[in-house]
Amino acid sequence: MQCYTVNVSRAAQRRKTAPNVVENHPLAQLDCLTLKMEWDRDTGAWVTVIPELNGISTFGKTQQEALENTRDMLLAWLDSMEQLRLRIPLSPCQIRKIRAVLG
């Protein structure tokens, strides 16, 4: 990802967050998107957002689960947009890279 933000509260830190989870995930290899992740105390989940893609968002009980859900959501979103022939705010080269990196 071009840039990512992880806001971790003290309560979230006590939930055994792994600081390298984001950096080691395949999503971190993408330089065409921004991934924002924060702990939502009200829902007790990690929430991710990709602002460049209409703010699509997902969540997970752990950072790893949130990232995997984001990966799945991103690939499904691309498939859906292509099937509906809707504009994707990325170049064809960027879309190919996302598919190659995320599988």
Instruction: Say whether pLDDT at 48 is over 50.
Output: yes
Instruction: Say whether pLDDT at 3 is over 80.
Output: no
From residue 12, give the alpha-carbon distance in Å to each of 8, 19, 28, 81, 89: 6, 11, 21, 34, 33
Whole-structure pTM value: 0.81
pLDDT digits (tens, 9 = 90+) for 55-70: 999 999 999 999 999 9
Q: Could you tell me the residue ranges of all domains in the chain?
A: 3-102
Q: Residue 36, class by beta-carbon neighbours within 10 Å (0-12 exposed, 13-18 middle, 19+ buried)? A: middle
Percent of the chain with pLDDT over 70: 82
Q: Please, are residues 102 and 71 in contact by the beta-carbon 8 Å criterion?
A: yes
